[in-house]
Amino acid sequence: MQINTVVTGAFSTNTYIIKAPKGTIVIDPSGKANKLIDTIKDEDITILLTHGHFDHIKAVDDLYDHYHCMIYMHKDDLELTDPVSSKKTNTLGPYSASISAPIDHLKEGKMMIYGQEVEVYFTPGHTKGSVIYRIGNVIFSGDTLFKESVGRTDLYGGNESDLKKSLRIFKEFPSDLDVYPGHGDKTSIGYEMMYNPFMR
């Protein structure tokens, strides 16, 4: 599986571009749509969102206008991306974003996208509707789990108790799975079990 990482924005957010057998999966298009389009080099894409925070969705509408693609996100984060409610729920200082394009609601479990199996896990805590994706031997963890850390819970919809429960899901994965987070360097389940204090 080919994974390209594009880092954009003031918060150095990771956008992941995954080549599936029959198309391209884009996880968390965070900004610089033209750069993403140049990297994608495909006519068919599907967008998967780990959650609705502004720094993970900035390029969604631009990519939708270009590709007219499917966009998937958990319904519990719709209030973060709605053009009206996002003005209160999804801002940090001068930063904000919303989505006008149609969004399909994610369900937990397995789904097939372009011939690629994607498994969805509901992991609330960082936001109400946070999810992670397993594709092959890779976990895309959004802002739920970082290398040696976890996502903050002090923004709208965050809940520390929920995040602690969600982290238990990672302990069930094989230790050799790679983890690609929403910010920072990639890691592995085994590494986080050893060095991440939030996983103990």
pLDDT at residue 10, as a whole number: 84
Strands 178-181 and 138-142: parallel
DSSP class of residue 106?
P
pLDDT at residue 1, as a whole number: 85
pLDDT at residue 155, as a whole number: 95
CATH number at residue 95: 3.60.15.10
pLDDT at residue 42, as a whole number: 85
pLDDT at residue 186, as a whole number: 98
Token couple for 57: 């969705």
Give me the domain span that covers residue 175: 2-199
CA distance 184 to 106: 25
What residues are paired with 183 via a beta bridge?
Answer: 13
pLDDT at residue 200, as a whole number: 87
Contact 42, 26 (CB under 8 A): no
Angle of helix 33-40 relative to helix 60-67, nearest 10 degrees, comes to 50
- The number of folded domains in the chain is 1
Contact 141, 149 (CB under 8 A): no
pLDDT under 70 in the chain at which residues? Answer: none
Element holding 199 (H helix, E strand): none
